[in-house]
């Protein structure tokens, strides 16, 4: 046996289940929202939720160890800076919606990961009964998924707004931009920008209240349609695809790229926000695990920047750069330019 090898990294991997469920339960209980701007103790937390002190202490200790809470020497708990920023409902970059999606929608599917592996099909929804993951009559999707996607997208949108030069861009077409996270964030950072969100009609209706709440009805338009069957609206300087292409197999992903290219003018920009798998297929971990997640969720996977570059070349686009979106759930943005009409 190697003197260097130890099993601790394997143990730490198994702790992923415990860590996630602690986060999910605390989020479900509203712990971080109730602690916003205040503190609690084991006794107060137990009394508030009608539980015994022992389970209350165990959950609070786990959350403290994970960096979600801070505990002082007197046994008083408060939110960590991260939790205060991202786990308090109502905050601009509230991430709890995505935690709920993973807990209610994805976690049960992983109990059937082997079925997905052997059958090469998703298991988080029924491919026989539904046309796709995005069925409008799926109650779990309607209740949790779109809020979760907004949570997953909001901070990424902020990073994109800060990293990409939008000086020469006046109008953006956000394809599959339901939830409005990118549209809202881009318009807040760049007040002269106009954004059109193109998504399924029922998703547009779910998105409309978010745009109204942000007070951006004059900057953001909603157009309903299916990007496989409906021509994309023209008249935009840039087209945005954020976490769209990984939902589809290569054939469909290429169809979406072709539709986007058709909608762009010469020198128009195509921005693809994804967690890109390395060209050598060795990582990184977030992209590789999100790609595995597509096994239980869709017919797609996370692609490499090299794969996108080759497909875009076939559509008359050239990759200009790949931006790192530091600290964002979606880790990169590939920017390409249309070189022929």
Per-residue pLDDT tens over the stretch 108-122: 999 999 999 999 999
Helices (H), 66-200: 81-86, 96-101, 107-110, 113-119, 139-140, 146-163, 181-189
For range 320-327, the mean pLDDT = 94
| CA–CA distance, 197 with 178 (Å, rounded to integer) | 7
Residue 137 has pLDDT above 90, yes or no: no
Question: Length of the chain, please?
Answer: 341
| CA–CA distance, 282 with 270 (Å, rounded to integer) | 26
Which tens digits make up the pLDDT trace of 216-231? 999 999 999 999 999 9
Q: How would residue 129 be classed by pLDDT, with cut points 50, 70 and 90?
A: confident
Which tens digits make up the pLDDT trace of 18-47? 999 999 999 999 999 999 999 999 999 999
- What is each CA distance from 67 to 77, 101, 236, in whole angstroms? 12, 21, 43
What pLDDT is recorded for position 142?
63
Residue 146 has pLDDT above 90, yes or no: no
Collapsing DSSP to helix, strand or coil, 247 comes out as helix
**Closest by CA position to 303, among listed 253, 222, 246, 255:** 246
Where do the CATH 1.10.10.10 domains begin and end in the chain?
Answer: 8-84
For domain 153-338, the question of CATH label 3.40.50.150 is answered with: yes
Class of domain 8-84: mainly alpha
Which residues are part of the catalytic machinery? 246
Considering only 10-19, 31-40, 45-54, 140-149, which range has the smallest mean pLDDT?
Answer: 140-149
Residue 16 has pLDDT above 60, yes or no: yes
Helices (H), 112-267: 113-119, 139-140, 146-163, 181-189, 201-213, 250-263
Q: How would residue 135 be classed by pLDDT, with cut points 50, 70 and 90?
A: low
| CA–CA distance, 234 with 298 (Å, rounded to integer) | 29
pTM score, whole prediction: 0.92
Query: Percentage of the chain with pLDDT > 90?
Result: 87
For 115, phi and psi rounded to 5 degrees? -65, -40
Where do the CATH 3.40.50.150 domains begin and end in the chain?
Answer: 153-338
What pLDDT is recorded for position 152?
86
- What is each CA distance from 206 to 90, 134, 144, 180, 233, in whole angstroms? 18, 13, 12, 9, 20
| CA–CA distance, 231 with 237 (Å, rounded to integer) | 16
What pLDDT is recorded for position 238?
98
Q: How would residue 140 be classed by pLDDT, with cut points 50, 70 and 90?
A: low
What pLDDT is recorded for position 150?
85
Could you tell me if 87 and 95 are in contact, meaning their C-beta atoms sit under 8 angstroms apart?
yes
Q: Which residues, 6+ apart, have CB-to-CB distance to 33 below 8 Å? A: 87, 88, 89, 90
Mean pLDDT of the chain: 94
Which tens digits make up the pLDDT trace of 286-305? 999 999 999 999 999 999 99
Query: Percentage of the chain with pLDDT > 70?
Result: 96
What pLDDT is recorded for position 207?
92
For range 328-334, the mean pLDDT = 93
For range 162-184, the mean pLDDT = 95
């Amino acid at each position: 046996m190697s003197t260097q090898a130890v099993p601790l990294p394997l143990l730490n991997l198994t702790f992923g289940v415990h860590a996630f469920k602690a986060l999910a339960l605390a989020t479900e209980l509203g712990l971080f929202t109730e602690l916003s701007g205040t503190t609690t103790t084991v006794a107060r937390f137990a009394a508030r939720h009608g539980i015994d002190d022992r389970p209350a202490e165990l959950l609070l200790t786990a959350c403290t160890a994970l960096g979600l809470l801070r505990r002082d020497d007197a046994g008083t708990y408060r939110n960590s800076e991260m939790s205060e920023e991202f786990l308090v409902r109502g905050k601009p970059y509230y991430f709890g919606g995505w935690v709920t999606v993973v807990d209610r929608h994805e976690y049960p599917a992983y109990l059937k990961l082997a079925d997905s592996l052997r059958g090469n099909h998703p298991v988080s929804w029924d491919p026989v009964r539904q046309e796709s993951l995005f069925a409008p009559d799926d109650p779990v999707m309607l209740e949790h998924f779109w809020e979760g996607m907004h949570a997953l997208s909001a901070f990424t949108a902020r990073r994109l707004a800060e990293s990409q030069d939008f000086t020469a861009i006046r109008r953006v077409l956000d394809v599959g931009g339901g939830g409005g996270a990118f549209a809202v964030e881009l318009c807040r950072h760049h007040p002269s920008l106009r954004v059109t969100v193109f998504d399924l009609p029922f998703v547009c209706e779910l998105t409309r209240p978010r745009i109204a709440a942000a007070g951006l009805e004059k900057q953001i338009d909603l157009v309903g349609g299916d990007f496989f069957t409906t021509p994309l609206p023209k008249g935009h300087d840039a087209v945005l695809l954020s976490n769209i292409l990984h939902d589809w197999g290569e054939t469909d992903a290429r169809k979406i790229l072709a539709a986007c290219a058709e909608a762009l003018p010469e020198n128009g920009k195509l921005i693809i926000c994804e967690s890109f798998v390395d060209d050598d297929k060795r990582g990184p971990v977030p992209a590789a695990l999100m790609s595995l997640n597509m096994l239980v969720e869709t017919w797609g996977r996370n692609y490499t920047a090299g794969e996108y570059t080759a497909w875009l070349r076939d559509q008359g686009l050239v990759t200009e750069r790949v931006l790192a979106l530091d600290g964002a759930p979606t880790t990169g943005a590939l920017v390409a330019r249309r070189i022929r009409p």
